[in-house]
Amino acid sequence: MNKQDLSGIFEKNAAGTVELLTRLIEFPSTRGQEQAISRFLKTKLEAFADETKLVAIPDSLVTDPDYCFRLENFRYEGTANLRCRLKGTGAGKSMAFNTHLDVVPPAPGQKHPFAAEIKEGKIWGRGACDAKGQIATLWLVLKSIHDLKLTPGGDMTFDFVVEEECGGNGSLKIVRDGLRAEGAVVLEPTDLHVAHLVRGAVWFEVQTQGIAGHSGSPDSTISALKESVKIMEAIERVREELLPVSRKATKKIAGHPNPMPCTFGMLHSGNWPAAAPSEAVLKGVFGFLPPFKRGDIQEKLRRAVAPFRAEIKFNMLNSDPSYIPEQHPLVQTLMEAAHDVGIPCRPEFMNASCDSWRYTEQLGIPAVVFGGGTITSAHSADESIVFEDLQKAAASLIIFIEKWSGLHHA
């Protein structure tokens, strides 16, 4: 790859990349509102790919046992993933790329979340790094390969999926349709490091029953709220039991202060300060790592809750960890490409869940996570991405494709 040619193409496409990302941020593509963005993006990519098509999400997907976060009376009504393909010459290895179209709702205090702001080399707005900046990265990859009149040695598949934020139903559609590739790169904000270990997550809901009554008769009441606090303590004990096992099994997290966070995000109970409530609903997420799978975690949480007057459900997001060794050719090749761009890249652990497990665990395709931006910015009121990092990510991926598969002049 001629670095000078690549630099010239990036300079030529800089304004177009900013314009695209600005436009993408304007789409309020929260769950159920993703129809328009996939169609818009199709118009921006179809000139640069051999195949560009919308892949509709059928309502029947909600019956899949791995479907996440069912909503009552929810219909897809035209919601679709977008798939682009570059056909290879047959002389190199294939590769799949994935990032997502959806965003979480605006954060409290986030002003004009769907109107991009550009200042000091950064682009601000909801989805700037998670993951519309990643979409813009792949647009720049595809356009640059097209402008340089290059053809990869192996087939390249680019999937822009819906519903990553609620558990990965868009990528589940890819799994059920079947996909063959010799590796995958899932684009998320990783500070331009190669994440080869990604933690899993089990979201839970605990409905606790008590016996309602006046504060003056404590012997005849059971506060469902107090029971929920005890359940939180029981769940924390599960985490304390499993963490040493994962530390031993996964050396990558040995020095990390909290690689398996358990977050209690919602607790609803009661309607009067001086009355013991009869019901409480607790919701949270249990982060975990190998050697455990989501089924292991669900069973351990069921046992932890069993002594209480409560029922636990796992009706939201449930994902396994994603892992390949740092010595794997996919990790090493992408790091080499990043180093060629001048990025001090290293193999890393990602302390959040994403769709990479759909590839490693369900499709049997080795996968890593990579992209510009930082995870601490994602979902925040100050979400942003450094434009230069977006370009560095794109350059790394183009050089990676050359190293992995070969790029040949048409």
Taking only the tens place, the pLDDT of each residue in 192-248 is 999 999 999 999 999 999 999 988 888 889 999 999 999 999 999 999 999 999 999
Paired residues of 275 in beta bridges: 214
Task: Return the pLDDT at 219.
Answer: 82
| Tokens read off for 312 | 């636990």
Q: Provide mean pLDDT across the span 289-316.
A: 96
Query: Does the pLDDT value for residue 251 go beyond 90?
Result: no
Q: What is the pLDDT of residue 57?
A: 98
Q: For residue 70, what pLDDT band results from cuts at 50, 70 and 90?
A: very high
Is pLDDT of 50 > 80? yes
Q: Nearest to residue 202, comparing CAs of 178, 173, 238? A: 238
Residues 6+ apart with CB under 8 A from 54: 38, 39, 42, 80, 81, 82, 83
Look up tokens 């099994």; give the residue: 249
Which position has the higher pLDDT, 410 or 152? 152
- Reference 274, options 231, 310, 221; nearest CA is 221
Q: How far apart are CA 86 and CA 128, in angstroms?
A: 26
pLDDT tens for 309-320 read 999 999 999 999
3-class DSSP state for residue 6? helix
Question: Smallest Cα–Cα separation from 208: which of 305, 316, 70, 315?
Answer: 305
Residues 183-203, buried b or exposed e (16+ Cβ, 10 A)? Answer: bbbbbbbbbbbbbbbbbbbbb
Q: pLDDT > 90: what percent of the chain?
A: 92
In tens, the pLDDT along 310-366 reads 999 999 999 999 999 999 999 999 999 999 999 999 999 999 999 999 999 999 999
Mean pLDDT throughout 86-111? Answer: 96
Could you tell me which of 137, 128, 135 has the C-alpha nearest to residue 106?
128
Taking residues 366-376, report their average pLDDT.
Answer: 97
Least confident of 85-99, 174-188, 253-267: 253-267
Q: What's the pLDDT at 330?
A: 98
DSSP 113-179: TTS-EEETTEEESTTTTTTHHHHHHHHHHHHHHHHTTEEESS-EEEEEES-TTTT-HHHHHHHHH--
Per-residue pLDDT, averaged over 55-84, amounts to 95
| CATH code at 3-198+321-409 | 3.40.630.10
CA atoms within 13 A on the CB side of 380: 12
Assigned CATH for 201-317? 3.30.70.360
Mean pLDDT in residue range 141-170: 97
What are the domain boundaries of the chain?
3-198+321-409, 201-317
Q: Give the end-to-end CA distance of the chain in Å, rounded to a whole number.
A: 14
pLDDT at residue 82 above 80? yes
